[in-house]
Amino acid sequence: MGRAFLYVILGGGVAAGYAALEFTRRGIGHGELCIISEEPVAPYERPALSKGFLLPEDPARLPSFHTCVGAHEERLTPKWYKEHGIELVLGTRVMSADVRRQTLLTSSGETISYKTLIIATGARALKLEEFGVMGSDAPNVCYLRNLADASRLVNVMQSAAGGKAVVIGGGYIGMECAASLVTNKISVTMVFPEEHIMARLFTPTIAAFYEDYYSSKGVEFIKGTVLSSLETNSLGQVVAVNLKDGRRLPADMVVVGIGIRPNTMLFEGQLTIDEKNGGIKVDAKMQTSNRSVYAVGDVASFPLPLLGSRNRRLEHVDCARKSAIHVVSSIMDPKDTGNFDYLPFFYSRVFTLSWQFYGDNAGEVVHFGDLSSFQGPFGAYWVNGKGQIVGAFLEGGSKDEYEAIARICRVQPVVGDRLDLASRGLEFAVSGDYGPPLSAGDDMGLVVERQLYAWHAAAGVLVAFSISAFAYWYGRRRRRW
């Protein structure tokens, strides 16, 4: 015996929070929606965990970063769910799902049934053991996917203050954690097999800028090799990291950021899985191969019209937010809901730097701006085989400039002379004289960060200040998630 709901969201992360808000806006009744989450807290903005949460002073803590503050919307506290009659089943893992019977079996032994299910199970961090290296359970080895990981990381950082950390992995988590460790006065060596950081997105030129910046903060890089073993003391704590190239790195702590895997397990054999992109395959309404089941966020592989409707699975917060809003519209208002026409958008903030990327990083790269200083803005366009701009990256832009690069990736104008594009650089996007402007109502897939408004408004006033004074000011006011 168990409870029955009209709508169940499986997973209580970013997508769940945004879907809940959208359900209430579209008028669901009390007792119709249930969210089941393994985590013991209501949905929160996960990006905060590698940013504001790790600050040494005045760190971000719940309830300050519950969804949906990341998109400047309401903050959905447990009280909010209660007031809206939404059942939060927290600290509860779903152990199995039966999509034919439309039921979920939870770790507490309850069977919860649904009329419509939204799968929002996100992803899990890959463990060292999956690459044949033992030691993930050592007390000073950290991963970062959820609040429990982040709290543990804070404790380990505090015990390792003034010591050395080895960061395994040169992606998002590696870069953001390395910056936080330095801010917490811990020396950092980053180890990764690629030729440069953020190899899936950055060009060698863009990566060189960030690596130089990180080096100026004392971060060391060891590239082209991987971890071979962890050396532990009698307490089981890691004291050194051994690398495949024979080097031994003494360590007071280790942070592992070697990628994620979507949480599809419960549905394998029941729903169509996109083997190539590794997620649950959905259509442009976010509907899976079963009509009662939808999937959103990191776990969903959906068609992207901007890429010729090829399927993609994106591991970024904006996609989780927007796919969640779209799925609720698809479910509650199917006739008036079009296809999910998403413009990929990623961002990161490290130290006093801040970048945004839109579109697709495929094709020829045209860099622009001054990459030789830390003064930005600089960036790059990606131009496809037909000569169209399909992707754009910008570091240190203003709100208008970020909107301009988003717009250009939507319009995808054909560009001729690449040298001219490089020399016009950001001005080309900002001018808007490349093609028909989008109308005001067009959704460009934008989430412009609140601190950028502040940056833009204050920029004119601050020109008289030195760069270091500016960096200090900016660092103090940056949003913390």
Strands 123-125 vs 4-10: parallel, antiparallel or unpaired? unpaired
SS (H, E, C) 227-263: EEEEEECCCCCEEEEEECCCCEEECCEEEECCCEEEC
CB nearer to ligand FAD: pick between 168 and 249: 168
Residue 173 beta carbon to ligand FAD: minimum distance, rounded to whole angstroms: 6
Residue 333 beta carbon to ligand FAD: minimum distance, rounded to whole angstroms: 22
CB nearer to ligand FAD: pick between 140 and 263: 263
- Tokens encoding 410: 């939507």
CB nearer to ligand FAD: pick between 66 and 145: 145
DSSP lists the bridge partners of residue 294 as 118, 287
Phi, psi dihedrals of residue 145, rounded to the nearest 5°: -130, -35
CB nearer to ligand FAD: pick between 14 and 415: 14
- On whether the CB atoms of residues 397 and 341 are closer than 8 A, the answer is no
Residue 287 beta carbon to ligand FAD: minimum distance, rounded to whole angstroms: 16
Query: How distant is the alpha carbon of residue 225 from its chain centre?
Result: 25
CB nearer to ligand FAD: pick between 16 and 230: 16
- On whether the CB atoms of residues 405 and 392 are closer than 8 A, the answer is yes
**Interacting residue ranges for ligand FAD, rule: CB under 6 A:** 11-16, 36-39, 46-47, 49-50, 93-94, 120-123, 144-145, 173, 263, 266, 297-299, 315-318, 320, 346-348
CB nearer to ligand FAD: pick between 15 and 452: 15
- Tokens encoding 51: 């940013």
Residue 211 beta carbon to ligand FAD: minimum distance, rounded to whole angstroms: 19
Residue 440 beta carbon to ligand FAD: minimum distance, rounded to whole angstroms: 25
Residue 10 beta carbon to ligand FAD: minimum distance, rounded to whole angstroms: 6
Residue 117 beta carbon to ligand FAD: minimum distance, rounded to whole angstroms: 12
CB nearer to ligand FAD: pick between 242 and 270: 270
Residue 172 beta carbon to ligand FAD: minimum distance, rounded to whole angstroms: 6
Alpha carbons 17 and 5: distance in angstroms, whole number: 17
Query: How distant is the alpha carbon of residue 228 from its chain centre?
Result: 28
- Of 26, 5, 13, the residue nearest 331 (C-alpha): 26
Residue nearest to ligand FAD (CB): 13
Distances (CA, A) of 268 to 95, 105, 279: 13, 16, 10
- Of 202, 226, 200, the residue nearest 214 (C-alpha): 202
Q: Helix H segments across 94-146?
A: none
Residue 460 beta carbon to ligand FAD: minimum distance, rounded to whole angstroms: 28
Alpha carbons 228 and 269: distance in angstroms, whole number: 35
CB nearer to ligand FAD: pick between 260 and 415: 260
CB nearer to ligand FAD: pick between 73 and 231: 73
Residue 21 beta carbon to ligand FAD: minimum distance, rounded to whole angstroms: 13
Task: With H, G, I as helix, E, B as strand and everything else as coil, classify residue 347.
Answer: strand
- On whether the CB atoms of residues 23 and 34 are closer than 8 A, the answer is no
CB nearer to ligand FAD: pick between 33 and 415: 33
CB nearer to ligand FAD: pick between 43 and 377: 43
- Tokens encoding 267: 């549905």
Q: Helix H segments across 279-434?
A: 317-332, 399-411, 418-424, 426-431
Residue 106 beta carbon to ligand FAD: minimum distance, rounded to whole angstroms: 8
Contacts of range 267-272, beta carbons closer than 8 Å, 24 or more positions apart: 267/97, 267/99, 267/119, 267/293, 270/97, 270/98, 270/99, 270/100, 271/99, 271/295
